[in-house]
């Protein structure tokens, strides 16, 4: 078995961060680590800016972004290797940067930035960071192998948000990757990127490095997927909002998915699914505090607590649809939700009464189009600048009085909607966005302090 270690952009942001990550990899060598890296912090943003500048004919702006990217990597290399950067490292960095410049030249010449070209550009961040990190590991005596993820991460052709082909990934991992993994040896590869059947580079979407790590873990039947980041696991609430929030030792996959969907910033929601199916634990750890607290996410949690964590998301918009035709009428809700489906609008929280139904939608939903369509069947009231506060815990369904405690803590805050999730592990409250932080602090005091 192998252990997957994923390091995000903040964990490889500069030479000092790479040294810390390198030490963690050295400690994990008995577990045959597969190291999955993101681009150095902010590199992907710079690549997107360069791509847009090139497509708009702003050569100097694109050049500035590329030069800045090159300088960051070369400066980190000089620091990592104490000024004596091996010739092969110089050559590898130059090759990736040269490839980037050629793609940008093509974009600038055609004044066209296709999704395919954008993926080819965005992937350079991971190729650069892994080239540098693998060379650094070798310089400190780690038996290390650099591996191009595009050789096994097979995807469809939805450039920018490609869907991995899990059976192909498993087969190719067995054929090309598994033999490289062994105790005492590390393999360094890229998160976020893959390739479709014709070999064109694809990306899995922003935040896709966590997804890559989980997919690799499932394909290789790993014993653990470690997500190394800049927080000590998943917290009972966002510590920037509630300073008293604390790290949660263990979460169920269902709880983690709910928290991610309702605003927790640590995990990309899609990260969880491959590990869930393969029953592989995922741990979320702090790169700079490796011996500190962390969170383990399993298929089911053995914890006996009632409430696991709180999350908040906003702004959202509440739409309330009223009509007396709802009374004893079949198909009314179907007609309403057909409109949302046809317009591609996702609905989060739903609450119904005898002659009304309220739903929440994201702030970028086409509100006026929705209004015109929905007014054909109901009176429509729109209330923007709302927030969803979610109370998450697997034992909510088994515990009486949770709603009463929550509403008691928020006694002078107007709760406009309340909904128990279909899986009964999420109690959602909708309120004015200006009261969101206050509500989270009060609920945290009520359930955790």
Q: How far apart are CA 449 and CA 445, in angstroms?
A: 5
Residues whose CB is less than 8 angstroms from the CB of residue 383 and which lie 6 or more positions away in sequence, other chains included: 317, 318, 319, 320, 416
Is the distance from CB of 211 to CB of 153 less than 8 angstroms?
Answer: no
User: Any idea what the Cα angle at residue 235 is, between residues 242 and 313, rounded to 5°?
Assistant: 65
Is the distance from CB of 136 to CB of 22 less than 8 angstroms?
Answer: yes
Q: Point out which residues pair with 143 in neighbouring strands.
A: 185
Q: Which of 212, 11, 15 is nearest to 123 (CA)?
A: 212
Q: How far apart are CA 118 and CA 53, in angstroms?
A: 12
Burial track 162-193 (b if 16+ CB lie within 10 A, e otherwise): bebbbeebbebbeeebbeebeeeebbbbbbbb
Within 10 angstroms of residue 3's Cβ, the number of other Cβ atoms is 20
Q: Sign of the CA dihedral 114, 115, 120, 122?
A: positive
Question: What pTM was estimated for this model as a whole?
Answer: 0.86
Is the distance from CB of 161 to CB of 202 less than 8 angstroms?
Answer: no
Q: Which of 341, 33, 66 is nearest to 213 (CA)?
A: 33
Largest CA distance in the chain: 79
Q: Point out which residues pair with 383 in neighbouring strands.
A: 318
pLDDT along the chain (449 residues), means of 10: 93 96 97 97 95 95 96 96 93 95 95 96 97 97 97 97 95 96 97 96 89 95 94 91 93 86 73 85 94 90 85 92 69 85 90 84 91 90 94 85 91 90 81 95 94
Residue 206 backbone dihedrals phi, psi, to 5 degrees = -60, 135
Q: Point out which residues pair with 381 in neighbouring strands.
A: 320
Q: How far apart are CA 362 and CA 313, in angstroms?
A: 10
Burial track 383-411 (b if 16+ CB lie within 10 A, e otherwise): eeebbbbbbbbbbbeeeeebeebbeebbe
Is the distance from CB of 92 to CB of 136 less than 8 angstroms?
Answer: no
The full length of the chain comes to 449
CA distances from 389 to 43, 196, 420, 432, 444 (A): 33, 39, 12, 10, 11
pLDDT at res. 125? 97
Half-sphere exposure of 257 (CA within 13 A, CB side): 17
Q: Point out which residues pair with 357 in neighbouring strands.
A: 321, 352
pLDDT at res. 261? 80
3-state helix, strand, coil in the chain (%, to 5): 45, 20, 35
Residues whose CB is less than 8 angstroms from the CB of residue 285 and which lie 6 or more positions away in sequence, other chains included: 226, 227, 228, 229, 232, 233, 294
For residue range 83-95, list pLDDT tens digits in order: 899 999 999 999 9
Sequential DSSP letters for 382-422: EEEEEEEEEEE-TTGGG-TTHHHHHHHHTTTS-EEEEEE-T
End-to-end CA distance of the chain: 41
pLDDT at res. 271? 77
pLDDT at res. 352? 82
Q: Which two tokens stand for residue 338?
A: 């057909």
Strands 282-286 and 250-252: unpaired
For residue range 337-349, list pLDDT tens digits in order: 899 999 999 898 8
The dihedral formed by the CA atoms of 411, 413, 415 and 420, expressed in degrees to the nearest 10: -60
Domains and CATH numbers, the chain: 3-230 (3.40.1160.10), 309-448 (3.30.2130.10)
């Amino acid at each position: 078995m192998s252990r997957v270690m994923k390091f995000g952009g903040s964990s490889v942001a500069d030479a000092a961060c790479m040294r810390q990550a390198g030490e963690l990899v050295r400690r994990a060598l008995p577990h045959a680590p597969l190291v999955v890296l993101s681009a150095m912090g902010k590199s992907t943003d710079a690549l997107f800016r360069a791509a847009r500048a090139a497509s708009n004919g702003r050569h100097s702006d694109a050049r500035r972004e590329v030069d800045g990217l090159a300088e960051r990597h070369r400066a980190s290399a000089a620091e990592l290797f104490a000024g004596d950067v091996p010739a092969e490292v110089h050559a590898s960095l130059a090759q990736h940067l040269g490839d980037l410049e050629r793609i940008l030249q093509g974009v600038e010449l055609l004044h066209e930035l296709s999704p395919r070209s954008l993926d080819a550009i965005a992937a350079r961040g991971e190729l650069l960071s892994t080239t540098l990190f693998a060379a650094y590991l070798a310089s400190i005596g780690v038996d290390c192998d650099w591996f191009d993820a595009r050789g096994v991460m097979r995807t469809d052709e939805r450039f920018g948000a490609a869907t991995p082909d899990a059976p192909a990934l498993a087969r190719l991992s067995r054929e090309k990757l598994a033999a490289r993994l062994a105790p005492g040896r590390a393999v360094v590869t890229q998160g976020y990127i893959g390739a479709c059947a014709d070999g064109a580079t694809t990306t899995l979407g922003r935040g896709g490095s966590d997804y890559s790590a989980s997919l690799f873990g499932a394909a290789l039947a790993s014993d653990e997927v470690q997500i190394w980041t800049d927080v000590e696991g998943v917290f009972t609430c966002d510590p920037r909002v509630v300073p008293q929030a604390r790290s949660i030792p263990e979460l169920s996959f269902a709880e983690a998915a709910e928290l991610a969907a309702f605003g927790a910033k640590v995990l990309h929601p899609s990260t969880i699914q491959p590990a869930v199916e393969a029953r592989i634990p995922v741990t979320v750890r702090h790169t700079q505090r490796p011996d500190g607290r962390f969170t383990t996410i399993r298929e089911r949690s053995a914890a006996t607590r009632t409430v696991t964590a709180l999350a908040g998301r906003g702004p959202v918009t509440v739409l309330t649809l009223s009509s007396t035709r709802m009374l004893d009428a079949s198909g009314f809700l179907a007609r309403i939700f057909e409109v949302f489906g046809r317009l591609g609008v996702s609905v989060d929280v739903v609450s119904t009464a005898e002659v009304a139904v309220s739903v929440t939608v994201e702030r970028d939903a086409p509100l006026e189009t929705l209004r015109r369509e929905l007014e054909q069947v109901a009176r429509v009231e729109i209330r923007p600048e709302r927030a969803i506060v979610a109370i998450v815990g697997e034992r909510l369904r088994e515990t009486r009085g949770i709603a009463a405690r929550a509403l008691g803590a928020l006694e002078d805050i107007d709760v406009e909607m309340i909904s128990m999730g279909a899986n009964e592990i999420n109690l959602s409250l909708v309120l004015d966005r200006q009261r969101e932080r206050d509500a989270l602090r009060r609920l945290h005091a009520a359930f955790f302090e």
